[in-house]
Chain A
Amino acid sequence: MAPAFPSGDDRADFGTGEHKQFSFHDIVLRNRLTALVVDGVDFCRLVEQGFLRSCGLETQGVNNGDAAVELIASGAKFDLIIIDMFLPVMDGLETTRRIRALGERCKIVGVSAYIGENDREAFLAAGGDVFSEKPVSPEVLIPILRELDGQYSNI
Chain B
Amino acid sequence: MDRNRLQHQVACMRRSLFDQGYLDEPFIQLEELQDDANPNFVQEIVTLFYSDSARLIQNIEHALNSRPIDFDKLDDYMHQFKGSSSSIGAKKVTNECTVFREYCSAENAEGCIRSFQQVKQEYAILRRKLEVYLQMVRQAAVSRTA
Contacts and interface: CB of A to CB of B under 8 A. Distances in A.
Interface of A: 1-6, 10-11, 14-16, 20, 23-25, 39-44, 46-48, 50-51, 54, 84, 86, 112-114, 133-135, 137-138
Given A1-B39, A43-B48, A113-B79, 7 more contacts: A3-B141, A10-B14, A51-B29, A86-B76, A112-B83, A114-B79, A135-B29
A1 B36 contact: yes
A65 to B, nearest CB: 15
Contact of B29 (A40, A114, A138): A138
Interface string B71-87: 00000100110111011
B28 A113 contact: no
B145 interface: yes
A1 B32 contact: no
A5 B49 CA distance: 19
B138 interface: yes
Contacts of B18: 14-16
B125 interface: no
B119 interface: no
Q: DSSP majority for the B interface?
A: helix
A2 B15 contact: no
B82 A114 contact: yes
A138 B33 CA distance: 13
Contacts of A133: 86
A75 B39 CA distance: 36
Counting from the closest, the 9 A-B pairs by CB-CB distance are: A2-B39, A15-B19, A113-B83, A3-B141, A43-B52, A14-B18, A113-B82, A6-B11, A15-B18
B12 to A, nearest CB: 9
Chain B's interface size range is 35 or more
Q: Which of A41, A48, A50 has the most CB of B within 10 A?
A: A41
Q: Which of A4, A15, A46, A113 has the most CB of B within 10 A?
A: A113
Nearest to A12: B28
A34 B86 CA distance: 25
Interface of B: 10-11, 14-16, 18-19, 25-26, 28-36, 38-42, 45, 48-49, 52-53, 56, 76, 79-80, 82-84, 86-88, 97, 101, 137-138, 140-141, 144-145
Contacts of A41: 52, 56, 80, 83-84
A43 B36 CA distance: 22
A10 B84 contact: no
B84 A43 contact: yes
Given A44-B84, A46-B48, A134-B83, A10 B11 contact: yes
Contacts of B82: 113-114
